[in-house]
Structure 1
Amino acid sequence: MSEGIDTEHAHSARIYDYIIGGKDHYPADREAGDAMVREWPALPVHMRANRDFMNRAVRYLAQEAGIRQFLDVGSGIPTSPNIHEIAQAVAPESRVVYVDNDPLVLDLSRGLMSGTPEGRTAYIEADMREPAGILDAPAFRETLDPDRPVALAVIAIVHFMLDEDDAVGIVRRLLEPLPEGSYLAMSIGTAEFAPDEVGRVAREYAARGMPMRLRTHAEAAEFFTGLDLVEPGIVQVHKWRPDGTGTEVVRDEDIAMYGAVARKSS
């Protein structure tokens, strides 16, 4: 296992993995996850809905938008199906670059390198707060063709970026070099539907050194300024092109995440 993995303190990616039923977490993550679920019992429903949104968005981008290149920033712990599995099931030649800055994610992502023979997958260890470290990485330049559209996925990560981090500016810098016809797929944390419950969960994260910045619908829309939103626009993740495959009943008040996909037209 890679050096530098802090198992003593809870980590957001491992908490997420624990709550959605993964296996890559430690006692501190489980303690944190249990505390959060006590504060908001719908948290697992919310997190699964976010994951399902990502899967539908990637399938849309591969199947309907014809995208063959994906950049997943803040990828988190690999949970099947991963982006490359979904995209390559549609188009085996699809290429995917995963980005995260957690040593455990790097360790677990080594298995991602085996996609289809026709496609490619790569992993970059970098912090999204420094876009140049992603865009200038050899794995980025060697895996993705800069002249062909790329889908930038930023899923369930910007709520851990505070105002001083300038999340909107960072996403724009990541999009800027991508050619016309590229897409942005995002999910963005909000407290607009269950403010008390989500507020309590946010306090649990903050108590463990992970302060959150939850956004209103208007604030979420700032990420998509200048882009062409795909219908139905910016909606709670469970309302973005539902495909009827979900088995659990999801209430609006159980979801604290906006989701959207938008196209870069110039």
Structure 2
Amino acid sequence: MSDGVGDLRTDVAHGARIYDYILGGKDNYAVDRAAAEASQQVWPALPVHMRANREFMHRAARFLTTECGIDQFLDIGTGIPTRPNLHEVVQEVKPEARVVYTDNDPIVLAHARALMAQNGRGRTAYVDADLRDPDTILNSPEFRETLDPSRPIGLMLIAVVHFIEDDDEALDVVRRIVDVLPSGSYVAATIATDEYAPELLAEVRRAYREHGETLKFRSRTTAQRFFDGLDVVDPGLVQMHKWRPDDLESLNVPEADIAMYAAIARKP
């Protein structure tokens, strides 16, 4: 699993590897497991929350392909793959669909290369880059050669903007990406919030920080700013388990167990 300990940053936790551990994966290190366990001790709902995030991604991908006709996607903050992956979801609907994955963890890169080697439908590519550096993503040959910038693109920002602590910086980098997308493109995002369990989530944030990872919670008002100038589709910005759930049972999850808002919006 290692090409070099320095590159893999095994001394600090990484959000993708914490997520992997919580979802039952094996691509994580002791520091990631420690951060996850410390977080679960203070907020036992963490696995429920993370599964809800994954389920929103699946619903968003199906919505964009089936109802909006999107057949090309830019997924920033991909994370370590957990099946079904984004390209598997969208290519079930549109076999020709194309996906560019982006992340900054070498473990994710290794998995992405394996996925691309196994993928016989549509087309996938991977950009080793950070959301904080949108120019690297947008100017990469992988982006330019895989996606057609003259046609609508689905931008997926699933559980990633909370790794940028400064609000202005986070809003700016997202805006810089949205600005280059053609009219008719969509943005699907989940944005961390502590508004439903502030005391418990303050402890989760502390646990993340103690193990070397950033976690920034945002208010509903700030979360809405990521969609400024876009047409937000129904039901608007809601807790992610409430966004067009597949079944009513999902709505029985206590609000305090979900720490992300979600929305999908269209660029006019």
The TM-score by the shorter chain falls in which range? over 0.9
CA distance in 1, matches of 2:244, 2:190: 14
Aligned to 2:266: 263
Stretch moving more, 82-91 or 208-217: 208-217
Q: Match of 2:113?
A: 110
- Residue 126 of structure 1 corresponds to 129
Q: Which AA in structure 2 matches 1:21?
A: G
The equivalent of 2:89 in structure 1 is: 86
Q: Give the alignment partner of residue 47 of structure 2, picking from 44, 47, 58.
A: 44
Partner of 1:2: 3
Q: What is the CA deviation profile of residues 2-55 of structure 1, one whole-angstrom value per residue up to 9, with x for unaligned ones?
A: 331122332111011111112211222112111110010011101110111111
CA distance in 1: counterparts of 2:19 and 2:261, whole angstroms: 17
Counterpart contact for 2:242–2:251, Cα < 8 Å: no
Contact preservation (8 Å) 2:152, 2:184: yes
1:54-89, Cα deviation, whole Å (9 max, x unpaired): 110011001111100000001111111111000000
* Matching of residues 1-266 of structure 1 within 5 Å: 1-3=2-4, 4-114=7-117, 117-163=120-166, 166-244=169-247, 249-265=252-268
Residues 7 and 34 from structure 1, CA distance in 2 versus in 1: closer, same or farther, beyond 3 angstroms? same
Task: Give the structure-2-normalised TM-score.
Answer: 0.95
Unaligned runs of 5+ in 1: none
Question: Shift of residue 209 of structure 1?
Answer: 2.2
Relative to the length of structure 1, the TM-score reads 0.95
Q: Report the residue type matching 1:193 in the other structure.
A: Y
Residues 229 and 164 (structure 1), Cα distance of their counterparts in 2 relative to 1, 3 Å cut: closer
| Distance in structure 2 (CA, Å) of the matches to 1:209 and 1:26 | 13
CA distance, structure 2, for counterparts of residue 223 and residue 63 of structure 1: 24
Task: Find runs of 4+ consecutive structure 1 residues off by over 4 angstroms.
Answer: 245-249
For residues 167 and 196 of structure 2, what CA distance do their matches in structure 1 show? 25
Separation (CA, whole Å) in 1 of partners of 2:25 and 2:249: 19
Letter of the structure 2 residue corresponding to residue 251 of structure 1: P
5+ unaligned residues in a row in structure 2: which ranges? Answer: none
Q: Which moved more, 1:159-168 or 1:245-254?
A: 245-254
Moved more, 217-226 or 113-122: 113-122
Change (3 A) 1:168 1:86: same
Structure-1 separation of matches of 2:120 and 2:163: 36
For 1:136 and 1:124, locate their aligned partners in 2 and report how far apart those are by CA, in whole Å.
10
Instruction: Note closer, same or farther for the CA distance 1:109–1:165 as it changes in structure 2 (3 Å cut).
Output: farther
**Matches of 1:240 and 1:136 in 2, distance apart?**
33
SS in 1 for 2:246: coil
CA distance in 2, matches of 1:170, 1:65: 25
The structure-2 alpha-carbon separation of the partners of 1:26 and 1:5, relative to structure 1 and needing over 3 Å to count, comes to: same
Tell me the distance in 2 between the aligned counterparts of 1:111 and 1:97. 14
* Cα separation, partners in 2 of 1:20 and 1:165, compared to 1, 3 Å: farther
Identity of aligned residues (%): 55
